[in-house]
Structure 1
Amino acid sequence: MTGRSRCRNVGARVRRLCLETGFTLLAIGLALFIAGLLLWLSGVDPLAYYGFIVRKGLLAPAGWQASLTRMGPLLLIAASLMVAFSAGLWNLGGDGQFMPGAVMASAIAPALLSRGVPLWIKLALALLAGAIGGMLWGLLPAILKIWRNINEIITSLMMSFLGVSLANVLVKLLLADPATTVPQTRNLPWEQRLPMLFGGQVSSGLLLGLLAVLLVHGMINHTALGLRMRVLGANPRAARHAGLPVGALTLAVFALSAALAGLAGAVEIIAIQGNVRADWNPAYSLVIVPLVFLAQFNGFGSLALVFVFSVLSIGSESAARRIGVPNHFTLLTVALLLIVPGLTRLAVARLRQALRQRTVSNTTTVA
């Protein structure tokens, strides 16, 4: 490849990146505008609402530290979804893999603490236990997909329901802390959790999330395994005819995706919550799905959108108390972030098709 062709390729990539970035920003702006319009129709000043979110979720020291801390498990879930979706596998059971991971970590960490295990070994084993718990819970949908070609959307969602229910049963019966009247696992003291960054209130779980997203992005786009995953996602039949081990790939993708979701649960416990309470389920996974789709499975786009969502969620919690806007309004905003880009892309595709047909028609008429 000559230097000139390399420059053309780089220029094309830059233009494509600029177009995608501009489109994403436009979609976010339209979604926020529609959400603001709904607030205005409800009698709430949208500028005051968004301003409050920015102040409490981004500008206030406690707010931006809370936003960055929340990003840790969310980024791990985003990495989990990137792995599955890039291979064309719909792992929608992230919440069911998150909860076993959280319960495993909440059971292992205090038990190791009472036995005098060094802190870094205890935290590493708790993280590993969470990843294994999530991975084991995600294997059945993969096995059913390989064995009987059963749709993984159905099986992963069913396993998600069962995983959350199993976690609640374990918390209430087997792992309940006898020292409390409220059903919950033993609490992990602050000093025994993941360390804070730079002496502040930002958990080092953020670094784990950043590392996971960047590694997954690099794996998908720059490794042979990532190429096989993308071929599998583009056309499973072609992947099988090309000699790729579709069954082994499916199992590996589900195992890695579920392990990352379980690791997110472990980080949530040993970095933020400290224990698992009965009937607790933050339901992060299905909320992150539209963000990963909006980023088109790109790691850097996922980082940016997860940051925006973290600021929105932290700020909206304060807005729910001060302004009276329900905290669930954030979920409506996320839904708009998924719907608006889809409709916009459809409109652009229809417009391009109409212009192309018009050009062909004019050329035929002139001829």
Structure 2
Amino acid sequence: MSAEVETLPGPLPGGDRLKEIGAAAARVLIPVLLALIMGGIILLILGKDPLAYYGYVAKRGLLTWGGLQETFTRMAPLLLIASGLIVAFRAGIWNLGGDGQFLLGAVITSAVAPLLVGSLPDLIVLPFCMLLSIATGALWSVVPAILKARYGINEIITSMMMSFLGTSFANVLIKLFFWDPATTVPQTRTLPVDDRLPRLFGSTVHAGVLIALAVIILVHLMMTRTAFGLKLQVVGANPAAAVHAGLNVAWLTVATFAISAGLIGLAGSVEILGVFGTVRADWNPAYGLLVVPLVFLARFNGYGTIGFVFFFSALMIGGDSAARRVGVPQHFVLVLVALLLIFLAVVEYLDHLRRKKVR
């Protein structure tokens, strides 16, 4: 992988430790600043005011109570997807099938939850749907997991293939099996608002945000403080050494895929139970690949990822309003994400050259 796994600084002298912290902060902040600057230059070329655009983004996503609530709400699925990616990336596995896993988790939840409401208590319905979505996501990762573990086939190709199949299969399920007969458009039954995840402190932010925060913190602790997490990282760093050490690499590979995909499936469930209550055919927010640069910017650190997901959520919420007001395409935010990826790669490459010279 191009990015190194973030680890806590060792017992370095005070000056060296400050330099190391400063270098880590620079590797994180420089790509963000360069992406914003280049995005501003592109806006100028298009004849738009970049300060106005970024001002609207900040105002809508951060500086109004309504926008801030939307930002926190948007964080829930992104944090859960990031949790799954952290598990996979730290283990040296590229799970790029997030969109399919997310959608299937969402569809299964939206199909099952309305049927269980009324026959089971809400305290059972919501957790059951979440567990079912975790199992669905994990199950959808079995094919790339086995192909990787048994035959060494590149998981980038197979996971993306399964993602494409998953998004298509989700639409098939809606149109053939889960279509609500009371609607004229293909969608699942709608979960009543009162039966969804509870709101926090009288706001529009649902409890899924707390679930997502708890999950990403637990994932970070698992990967950095437990023997199981250490085993996964050894497999990712050097599979040959892991085999020599007696680790069951095939089993750990399958387990990594299952945990990663299960958490992404949970993201789909939380989005339905907290926000939409239903899934329409052809709905796909495509969050999977959008979260990848945020996880890399945080250097696979769960705590750092929370900050970047908050920043990106505000950018997404504010970007829609800013695009309309300034007169640029709504998907200009994706241009900023692309620039972020480019500058992240450049900064990582320059840092790699710097480290080689030091050695």
TM category (shorter chain) comes to over 0.9
Secondary structure of the residue aligned to 1:229 is helix
Question: Is residue 177 of structure 2 the alignment partner of residue 174 of structure 1?
Answer: yes
Aligned to 1:102: 106
Q: Is the 8 A contact 1:294 1:338 kept in 2?
A: no
Secondary structure of the residue aligned to 2:132 is helix
Structure 2 Cα separation of the partners of residues 230 and 14 of structure 1: 26
Q: Deviations over 1:308-342 (max 9, x none)?
A: 11000000111232222212111111111121122
Q: Is the 8 A contact 1:214 1:299 kept in 2?
A: yes
Aligned to 2:45: 41
Question: Is residue 293 of structure 2 the alignment partner of residue 278 of structure 1?
Answer: no
Q: Is the 8 A contact 1:142 1:250 kept in 2?
A: yes
Q: Is the 8 A contact 2:54 2:322 kept in 1?
A: no
Q: Deviations over 1:22-43 (max 9, x none)?
A: 3312221111111111111111
Q: Is the 8 A contact 1:294 1:337 kept in 2?
A: no
Structure 1 Cα separation of the partners of residues 348 and 257 of structure 2: 29
What are the within-5 Å matches in structure 2 for residues 1-367 of structure 1?
Answer: 8=12, 15-115=19-119, 117-350=120-353, 353=356
Q: Is the 8 A contact 2:27 2:347 kept in 1?
A: no
Aligned to 2:7: none
Structure 2 Cα separation of the partners of residues 166 and 341 of structure 1: 34
Q: Deviations over 1:148-183 (max 9, x none)?
A: 111111110110011110100111110000000010
Structure 2 Cα separation of the partners of residues 25 and 132 of structure 1: 37
Higher relative contact order (CA 8 A, sep 6+): 2
Look up the equivalent residue of 1:280 and give its one-letter code.
W
- TM-score normalised per structure 1: 0.91
Look up the equivalent residue of 1:281 and give its one-letter code.
N
Structure 2 Cα separation of the partners of residues 336 and 229 of structure 1: 31
Structure 1 Cα separation of the partners of residues 20 and 171 of structure 2: 47
Look up the equivalent residue of 2:204 and give its one-letter code.
Q
Secondary structure of the residue aligned to 1:208 is helix
Change (3 A) 1:104 1:315: same
- My pick for the range that moved more, 16-25 or 220-229, is 16-25
Structure 2 Cα separation of the partners of residues 65 and 33 of structure 1: 27
Instruction: Report the Cα offset of residue 9 of structure 1.
Output: 7.1
Change (3 A) 1:109 1:12: farther
Percent identity over the alignment is: 54
Structure 2 Cα separation of the partners of residues 17 and 203 of structure 1: 35
Look up the equivalent residue of 1:222 and give its one-letter code.
R
Q: Is the 8 A contact 1:291 1:337 kept in 2?
A: no
Structure 2 Cα separation of the partners of residues 104 and 155 of structure 1: 22
Secondary structure of the residue aligned to 1:59 is coil
Secondary structure of the residue aligned to 1:44 is coil
Q: Is the 8 A contact 2:80 2:215 kept in 1?
A: yes
Structure 1 Cα separation of the partners of residues 277 and 258 of structure 2: 26
Q: Is the 8 A contact 1:105 1:130 kept in 2?
A: yes
Q: CA RMSD for the aligned pairs?
A: 1.7
Q: Deviations over 1:39-88 (max 9, x none)?
A: 11111100000000000011111101000001001000000000001000
List runs of 5+ in structure 1 lacking aligned partners: 1-5, 358-367
Structure 1 Cα separation of the partners of residues 18 and 262 of structure 2: 34
Q: Deviations over 1:102-151 (max 9, x none)?
A: 01110111000142x11111111111111111111011110111121111
Structure 1 Cα separation of the partners of residues 168 and 70 of structure 2: 28
Change (3 A) 1:249 1:12: farther
Structure 1 Cα separation of the partners of residues 83 and 89 of structure 2: 10
Secondary structure of the residue aligned to 1:286 is helix
Q: Is the 8 A contact 1:106 1:276 kept in 2?
A: yes
Structure 1 Cα separation of the partners of residues 196 and 224 of structure 2: 34
List runs of 5+ in structure 2 lacking aligned partners: 1-9
Q: Is the 8 A contact 2:74 2:313 kept in 1?
A: yes
Look up the equivalent residue of 1:335 and give its one-letter code.
A
Structure 2 Cα separation of the partners of residues 142 and 43 of structure 1: 48
Structure 2 Cα separation of the partners of residues 9 and 104 of structure 1: 53
- My pick for the range that moved more, 159-168 or 314-323, is 314-323
